[in-house]
A = this chain, B = another copy of it.
Amino acid sequence: MPQTESPQITPILEAARAAARTLATTPTGLKNKALHGIAAALRGSASEILAANAQDLAAGTENGLSAGLLDRLTLDAARIDALADAVLEISLLTDPAGEVVRGSSLPNGVRISQVRVPFGVVGVIYEARPNVTVDIAAIALKSGNAVVLRGGSAAENTNRVLVGLLQAALSQVGLPAACVQTIDPFGRAGATELMQARGHVDVLIPRGSAGLIQAVVTQSTVPVIETGAGVVHIFLDESANLEWAVDIVHNSKVQRPSVCNALETLLVHEAAAARLLPAVLAKLTESGVTLHGDERVRKIYPAAVPATEEDWSTEYMGLELAVAVVDSLDDAIAHIRRYSTGHTESIITNDIVNADRFLGEVDSAAVMVNASTRFTDGGEFGFGAEVGISTQKLHARGPMGLPELTSTKWIVRGSGQVRA
């Protein structure tokens, strides 16, 4: 593996492997003690964190980052508190390492059991979201994995401070600081090495824009878990409850438009369009949402601007929404199959048959009935925090928490048995 022989990040990967071997046999109690130290450090050093974050925000504004990206980059006292709370929540969760998934005795008396074990070394490549640094470090620590982080340069100052706090908290309880490392100083070359470090990195998780994920997927020789990109749909069925439609569409689009579970395309059954669209879209307009509608939408709601083909596959990550009228549930499912990134889709309906068809035939990480798409989230699902939301089918799908950062091994106990 010539790439991994490079002098650049090899020492970091070797330190990560050594740290991972230590973590694999570290009792849960000590890992929890480290998590409490991390939470305390976050609250105790809030001003230091915010100062570094202010630098990044200033630079980001200067470099013309979008409102969505700036929101993802922003930390404030409340968000730091929420981060510390998430870390404490993770300390309360069951340690997945050592969990017996299944087991049996074979006819010959050999006993087999499948047991959860940490991956070992987890690489994460993400964009300018400082909260990801803490979430992932905490989840990796609790699940017994060492992490090598490559954050976006736009968050470089914030992440440097955060990683420093994390490493100090680890050392304080006698765990290797190398359980959490950053390769940001190595720039793009470091990221490329990380993607090629097969055998040194057990799994690589890209978290961010579709472009970032595509780049990692195509360049990486390390097994990858894809996350994030979400062209999220809601379908308002003929029988949809008006109040639910208004509230769920508004919440899905407006509550936090910059994240991957936010609504991007609204589909409406033609038989319900006139009944539902005026109120649903008016509430969005009140909140400053730009609507991209097809012709039938604009007949009902002329304020919508004409939608282009591109709109149906766009993840706006802001206060914009594509809206189309469809003839049937089948057309809605066909539209979703064509344009969805397989993240989250929701149907608003009172028809149990249509609900079950939607749940069964839409092939996405999360499929919903009469609920906001914003619920596809590790915290909401009770995972404490999340590594990301997997939109691939391999290993993990949907919000990834602690068990999703483990592998398994088969333990086989015999008493001299041989195969006949």
Could you jot down 18 A-B contacts, CB within 8 Å? A24-B360, A106-B381, A202-B393, A217-B221, A243-B416, A248-B416, A366-B409, A367-B412, A370-B414, A370-B416, A370-B417, A371-B416, A375-B414, A393-B407, A394-B395, A395-B395, A398-B408, A398-B409
Interface set, chain A 305-364, CB cutoff 8 A to B: 346, 359-361, 363-364
Point out the residues of chain B lying under 8 angstroms from A143, CB to CB.
none
Interface set, chain A 110-150, CB cutoff 8 A to B: 110, 112, 114, 117, 119-120
Point out the residues of chain B lying under 8 angstroms from A367, CB to CB.
409-412
A415 CA / B224 CA spacing, docked (Å):
36
Are A412 and B382 neighbours in the complex by a CB distance under 8 Å? Answer: no
Indicate if A49 sits at the interface (CB-CB under 8 A): no
Indicate if A66 sits at the interface (CB-CB under 8 A): no
Q: Do most interface residues of chain A lie in helix, strand or loop, or is the interface mixed?
A: mixed
Are B372 and A203 neighbours in the complex by a CB distance under 8 Å? Answer: no
Indicate if A374 sits at the interface (CB-CB under 8 A): yes
The smallest C-beta distance from A412 to any residue of chain B, in angstroms, reads 4
A408 CA / B251 CA spacing, docked (Å):
26
A180 CA / B192 CA spacing, docked (Å):
38
The smallest C-beta distance from A91 to any residue of chain B, in angstroms, reads 20
The smallest C-beta distance from A107 to any residue of chain B, in angstroms, reads 9
Are A417 and B202 neighbours in the complex by a CB distance under 8 Å? Answer: no
Are B375 and A412 neighbours in the complex by a CB distance under 8 Å? Answer: yes
Indicate if A165 sits at the interface (CB-CB under 8 A): no
Indicate if A25 sits at the interface (CB-CB under 8 A): yes
Are A394 and B394 neighbours in the complex by a CB distance under 8 Å? Answer: yes
Indicate if A301 sits at the interface (CB-CB under 8 A): no
- Contact with A112, one of B203, B241, B381 (Cβ below 8 angstroms): B381
Indicate if A413 sits at the interface (CB-CB under 8 A): yes
Closest to A357 in B: B25
The smallest C-beta distance from A28 to any residue of chain B, in angstroms, reads 15
Point out the residues of chain B lying under 8 angstroms from A394, CB to CB.
202-203, 223, 225, 394-395, 407
Indicate if A380 sits at the interface (CB-CB under 8 A): yes
Point out the residues of chain B lying under 8 angstroms from A408, CB to CB.
397-398
Are A411 and B363 neighbours in the complex by a CB distance under 8 Å? Answer: no
A317 CA / B218 CA spacing, docked (Å):
33
Which residue, A104, A255, A363, has most C-beta atoms of chain B within 10 A?
Answer: A363
Indicate if A376 sits at the interface (CB-CB under 8 A): yes
Are A416 and B244 neighbours in the complex by a CB distance under 8 Å? Answer: yes
Point out the residues of chain B lying under 8 angstroms from A369, CB to CB.
412-414
Are B255 and A419 neighbours in the complex by a CB distance under 8 Å? Answer: yes
Point out the residues of chain B lying under 8 angstroms from A366, CB to CB.
409-410, 412
Task: Across the A-B interface, give the 9 residue pairs with the lowest CB-CB distance, nearest first.
Answer: A371-B414, A251-B418, A393-B407, A395-B395, A374-B419, A368-B412, A244-B416, A223-B394, A366-B410
The smallest C-beta distance from A65 to any residue of chain B, in angstroms, reads 25
Interface set, chain A 248-263, CB cutoff 8 A to B: 248, 250-252, 255
